[in-house]
Structure 1
Amino acid sequence: MELTFDLDGVPLGEPDEHIFAEDPIGVWRVPLDTPLGDATLYVRWADDPDSAAEIPLEITAPRFVDVAEPTGLAQTHDATGSPAECAESHTGVAMGDYDGDALPDVYVGNVGTSGRLFRNLGNIDADSEPDFVDVTDDAGLGGVDSVAMATFVDLEGDGDQDLFIGRRGTNRMFENRRVPDGTPTYVDVTAALGLDLDSQRTMGVAFGDYDGDEDLDLYEVNHAFCYPEPGFEIRAEDHLYRNDGGVFFEHTNELSPSAGNSVGFSAAWVDLERDGDQDLIVINDDVGGDIGDPNEVWRNDGQGDTGAWTFTDVSLSSGLGDGSWHGMGIALGDVDGDGFVDVAFSNIRENVLMLNQGDGTFEDVSAAAGIERAEFPWGRDSITWATHLWDHDNDGDLDLYFSGGTLQATGPVSDAFFDNVGDVDFVDLTWESALADPAHGKASALGDFDRDGAWDLVTAAWSDELRVWRNLAIGNHYLDIELVGRAGNRDGLGAIVELTTDVGTQTCFHTQRPSLGAGGETACHFGLGSETEITTLRIFWPDGTIQDVTPPAVDQRVAFTQPPA
């Protein structure tokens, strides 16, 4: 097999395949039908025939393949109308089962035109891929543009998935009427819920029950509204909303007078110390100057004497806010198997992985773990956005993905993918996995859209084609666990699941998988390797109930319901 690569678009000889490049640095794709095995890459400058070089290659089978076309999800992000002074940072994508058929559907955001909702019909044409159909207008979601993020959530606890859409402008909260009316259609309830604040750019949200009253509260993460002229900014501050009786009331002052004054991208409620309540992590873009602040961590200390909820700012002491990072995406998971939640987040230059020490502090192990990738071999800085921790190959440990993309279309920056080979040791498999995508990747959602046990990715690039990455790494055993909570927290957000086999214990922290600009499937996914029996399965529900359940058979998706109060 011979490949040629001419760095100015002039063919050299008669190769089997030919790749043209006008930019001498970056990422280019080898054609999908290139035979596997040994190959030779010939590289030269078009105006200097003597500069040709021969580079031996091995073409290996990919771990992921883009199936946007055969699934019916192929589309290009519409970025028209975005002001030139705005960073190219918001796309928006969400995965969730809006119609109750046990298959994840997909919502994809746009700027200049309406976002689109695609219903998953399953594999109706027997081509090994699920089939999606656009149901936006029928579902009542037409006309929602300027989308920055999206996530499905059962907000009122009636058993169907509602949809929150963060925008540059007024956010939109849509109630799913599938359970009340029998049809999966959406009604805009933004104003009725008290969430119709204007003039913001919501890049992420975190739903969670921080006050323990069994309904979902909300933290909105806002970035700068954009920069109309040099030296001037319109700050879009964050907001903490408490859910009381199905209506949201702002309680941002329960954090501190300065809370929400940063420019952020993502957030999550999670029990950092496993003391039974939900703490808050906010990933901020520390751009410097008057509006730049590090990440924030708010420890939940419960209800105070005045009746107000109390939080303690532990940003610096925890280590998560002790650094000047351009933080963007967030991923949560127990990477080292100690039962405490670890945190990964994206950045300009080095990616970051922080291990929870179990005492309220985190250690930066990014360099030792091998996941930094500060720059490419050709000198361009790495810039990453959405972030996922999940066991892509079901071998029993969590792997790490970052979408990659530039700020202002200055050239290709690939995604990054790191395979955990054990003991928090990661190997860069970006190229071998076929995830070295040169598009300007931003938001990304995680879920198993074909229900084969190997979780897939949907990544929304700025002004580029949607990537629908089907995971080909099947073979090992797995178990997916859905949780059904009580009352207004029907999704069971904040629960913790521990699964034990003869190899050891894995811990799942039940969240919306916030990533960046997105929300994924909430089920706990456990890769089991060659293990075929589960020894124990324990669920720690948000109200403090500990439930030991009979271990199910492997290689399936099961659901467990929170016991009555």
Structure 2
Amino acid sequence: MTSFLSNRTIRSVCLAAFCGLLLFLMNCSLFAEEKPSAISFQDVTNAAQIAFQHRSPVTVKRHLHLMMGSGVGWIDFDRDGYPDLYCAQGEAWSNVELKQSQPVDIALSNRLYWNRRNSQFQDVTAVSGLTVLNYSMGIAVGDYNHDGFDDLYVSAFGRNLLYCNQGDGTFSEVSSAAHVDDPGYGASCTWADLNGDGLLDLYVVNYLEIDREHYPICSRRVDGARVYFICHPRYVPGQYDVVYLNLGNGAFLDISQKAGLHSEPARQGLGVFAADFDQDGDMDLYVANDSVANQLWINDGQGVFIDQALVAGLAFNRTGDREAGMGLAGADYNGDGEVDLFVTNYFGETNTLYRNEGALFFLDVTDETGLASPSRARLGFGTSFLDANNDGWEDLFVTNGHVHDRLSQLGKTEPYEQEPQLFLNLAGSRFADVSKQSGEFFQTKQVGRGCAVADFNQDGLVDLAISHLDERLVLLENRSQRTHPSLALQLVGTTSNRSAIGAVLEVTCDSRKITRLRKGSSSYLSADEAWLTCGLGDCRSPVTVKVRWPGGKTENWTGLQPGGRYTLIEGTSVLPDQSQIQP
């Protein structure tokens, strides 16, 4: 009996030791997976000679539009292969009439910075014809007239503006002639070919039904004194979005009502993302709305859109709550070839990651991917998917900042200025917050609004431009460790729209497939660079690129070398000359 007990005890101890060792090894494995790559971003704004200061001084009565900020966009206006930077400007309410009668002060205008190809920029606003004096909001970049030069659409609180690129370094304002000068409260906007005719159409998200003559003012008495604060958008009527059909003769036609946008009450929209969500060959639209249900406009191919957000799982979060949709980003974050969506929301809510399950069905996976807790004490605005370390997985950037600057007077402790965040994608399973170790900028508090991605210095690493409310624009250069190569691709449509907006790239190296999207808009009020920088992870051998052009036609290019820059022209499938972007 004693011997039997001893043997059993020995076996139990051995089993326990084995289980403990196994658990230890599993933890080590998990730790190894979570160990972040050395990501580093550095603020190079001053060195790059960018001196843009957003101006939106608050008013005593806290007018709402002055707290929403403006976007930023990358546009290669001179076609030299290097992205130039366009910055949207706000302005104080009290200066609106003043600006009409005084000489133009360039500091109060939107600004265009030309990329000098030496990591420095030059302000060319005055000579480009882009001096804009209004409260500009959103930016959309695309070649709407197929002349090879990207044009610029700017939404505003008030009249929206279309600038046609003349190809000589200048732009002409053609808003009225093109019939796209909507006078509403414009927010994000995007180019996309919505009817499959190869021409870029225009979708403009509108926010609230207010103007300078009809403006809601909210206040409360605190300790006998009246305290003004911005009105909650839920109690201000929304404004219908606008769809403009490109007629191909320089003019557009407003088809909003015919397209079905008036089939539902107007909502308070802020963000928009265009993609072929149901993969039927035409472009659909997802709209992030503020404090009301989001919308998924599915294109029936006949010019009519039907909102399918509720049945697709995209109208609310996983608990059925409406959230304050601000910024919006789309990408295939988990490598399954489907377009997933990320929406930034209000303080006390979480940002929301919707994973595309296919068949037009999405799941809110914010909690299980580690993105819920870090976002509860933030108010998110601009957001971008970007592969910061070129490992082939799209990481996530979020810029934060409140809209209320008088919360302490109202008895609340929510911070006005907030730190931005960077989340490392852990092989498509979840995200790790690596903000604190990614550079000093991530430890500074800002009132963030827009952001846009580009490889402005062509070093093979993607960089970030970030707009702030009533503060300076910041350019972050990616100086992460070069442990993985990348591939830079420019798409040129021929039968598709020339900008190839809506195209989907599938890069294959060995057995791994990496999906990237050619987007028509991004983030909040912003526009990414047209060139796509694709991180390749451990791939060192030649890759194959499959392009699914807008409309559904596919083409393959083979033998592309990691580290190269390629222009892929629709209908050629011939490997072009390459230039190296990395040693």
Pairing 1:128-143 to 2, within 5 Å after superposition? 130-143=119-132
Contact 1:484–1:560 (CA under 8 A) maintained in structure 2: yes
**1:96 paired residue among 35, 58, 75:** 75
Q: What's the CA shift string for 1:271-327, capped at 9, x where partnerless?
A: 1122221111111111xxxxxx21100111212xxxxx2322211011111341111
Tell me the distance in 1 between the aligned counterparts of 2:148 and 2:300: 30
Moved over 6 A (4+): none
**Deviations along 1:402-459, whole A, 9 cap, x unmatched?**
1111112353211111001213221001111122431101011110111111100000
Query: Structure 1 residues 275 and 143, CA, compared in 2 at 3 Å: closer, same or farther?
Result: closer
Superposition map of 1:527-542 within 5 A: 527-542=535-550
Point out the more displaced range, 248-257 or 344-353.
248-257
Matched with 1:195 is 180
Q: Hey, what does 1:9 align to over in structure 2?
A: none
Q: Distance in 1 between matches of 2:307 and 2:239?
A: 21
Aligned in 2, Cα 1:294/1:397: closer, same or farther, shift over 3 Å? same
1:466 is matched with 473
| Residues in 1 aligned to 2:509 and 2:290: alpha-carbon distance in whole angstroms | 40
The answer to whether residue 420 in structure 2 is matched with residue 420 in structure 1 is no
Q: Note if 1:555 corresponds to 2:563.
A: yes
Equivalent in 172, 175, 200 of residue 216 of structure 1? 200
> Pairwise mapping of residues 16-415 of structure 1 onto structure 2 (< 5 A)?
63-80=40-57, 84-87=62-65, 88-112=67-91, 113-123=108-118, 130-178=119-167, 183-198=168-183, 200-224=184-208, 227-230=215-218, 233=236, 235-245=238-248, 246-253=250-257, 254-259=259-264, 261-286=266-291, 293-303=292-302, 309-323=303-317, 324-348=322-346, 349-373=349-373, 381-409=377-405, 410-415=415-420
How far, CA to CA, are the matches of 1:95 and 1:225 in structure 2? 30
SS in 2 for 1:463: coil
Cα 1:312–1:75, aligned 2, differ >3 Å: closer, same or farther? closer
Change (3 A) 1:176 1:558: same
Shift of residue 220, structure 1, vs aligned partner:
0.5
Considering only CA atoms, is the larger Rg found in Structure 1 or Structure 2? 2
2:510 paired residue number: 502
Give the deviation of 1:525 after TM superposition.
Answer: 2.4
Q: CA deviation at 1:374?
A: 5.3
Whichever residue aligns with residue 216 of structure 2, its letter is P
Gap regions ≥5 residues in structure 1 = 1-59, 124-129, 287-292, 304-308
Given the two structures, how large is their TM-score scaled by the length of structure 2?
A: 0.79
Look up the equivalent residue of 1:280 and give its one-letter code.
L
* Percent of residue pairs bearing the same amino acid type: 29
1:228 maps to amino acid = P
Pairwise CA distance, 1:545: 2.1
Ranges in structure 2 where 5+ consecutive residues have no aligned partner: 1-36, 92-107, 219-230, 406-414, 574-583
Instruction: Work out whether residues 416 and 436 of structure 1, in 8 Å CA contact, stay in contact via their aligned partners in 2.
Output: no
Amino acid at match of 2:328: I
AA in 1 matched with 2:196: G
- TM-score of the two chains, using structure 1 as the length reference: 0.81
Instruction: Name the CA shift for 1:563/1:62 in 2 (closer, same or farther; >3 Å).
Output: closer
With over 3 angstroms needed to count, the CA separation of the structure-2 counterparts of 1:375 and 1:563, relative to structure 1, is: closer
2-structure distance, mates of 1:423, 1:488 = 31
Distance 2:208 2:464 in 1: 28
In structure 1, distance between residues paired with 2:565 and 2:572: 23
Hey, what's the Cα distance between the residues in 2 that align with 1:543 and 1:411? Answer: 44
CA contact (8 A) 2:39 2:480 kept: no
State which drifts further: 63-72 or 314-323.
Answer: 314-323
Q: Secondary structure at the match of 1:317?
A: helix
Q: Which whole-Å CA distance do the structure 2 matches of 1:115 and 1:370 have between them?
A: 38
- 1:169 CA drift (Å): 0.5
Letter in 2 for 1:211: N
